[in-house]
Structure 1
């Protein structure tokens, strides 16, 4: 069991530290899945912007942990001129808030949200995403 002094010097992870967790989570995904993700960018911000909050009908800035933006492989054919690259946003403050209220590691949570958002890119089912996440957990836990 940890003591108060174990926690006294700790601080919340920075944007860069969450990005490093996301990079490690992505690296732990099955190789064939990562290969299919070529070109998908991962961004970490503290919160979604106002436009995103309105578009997603969020009551507060803490309602959204992550978001895929772009044209998913399930819907697309050709990339249109001027189209922004496919990207996943992870939102640090909502992730930390969720993490504080649940019994899971921050790394697992980041992996879960990343897989879920990338899963939208492929049009994957919840079962498919659970299998990919389990494979990543086996690598990072193991």
Structure 2
């Protein structure tokens, strides 16, 4: 048995995203998703991580509460990163399925895009059709 590859994690993330409530996903137009093994050094420093395993995902961009709906010339798209190795490490010590963990990380990071509370994000996760 081998660990899921970047492509396999990306496929799980695509499936997790597709299972989320439509009222949530349709508002994500233009958000770009990336799967990497680890965050880069700049991100680790910026987020004050002690190790490269401390961060499961990250939202970068301008969230809707910050005016993301306003077009800006030359602006980078909003992006969500999922970090494969930290997610797998977390999964190894969890009773949750890998799909559930990926769904949780996706909702949490996208939730930053919307400025949602933790309670809002939990409700969205409960609404996922897996």
TM score, norm. by length of structure 1: 0.89
State the secondary structure of the residue aligned to 1:39: coil
Ranges in structure 1 where 5+ consecutive residues have no aligned partner: 1-9
Q: Which residue of 67, 88, 91 maps to 2:58?
A: 67
Distance (Å, rounded) in 1 between the aligned partners of 2:33 and 2:116? 18
Match of 2:7 in 1: 16
Distance (Å, rounded) in 1 between the aligned partners of 2:65 and 2:88? 31
More contact order relative to length (CA 8 Å, sep ≥ 6): 2
How many pairs were matched up? 129
CA shift for structure 1 position 79: 3.2
Ranges in structure 2 where 5+ consecutive residues have no aligned partner: none
Match of 1:113 in 2: 105
Distance (Å, rounded) in 2 between the aligned partners of 1:125 and 1:32? 16
Match of 2:83 in 1: 91
2:101 equivalent to 1:126: no
How large is the Cα RMSD of the aligned pairs? 0.8
Match of 1:49 in 2: 40
Deviations 1:80-126 (A, max 9, x none): 22211001000000000000011110000000000000000000011
Deviations 1:31-53 (A, max 9, x none): 11111000111100000001100
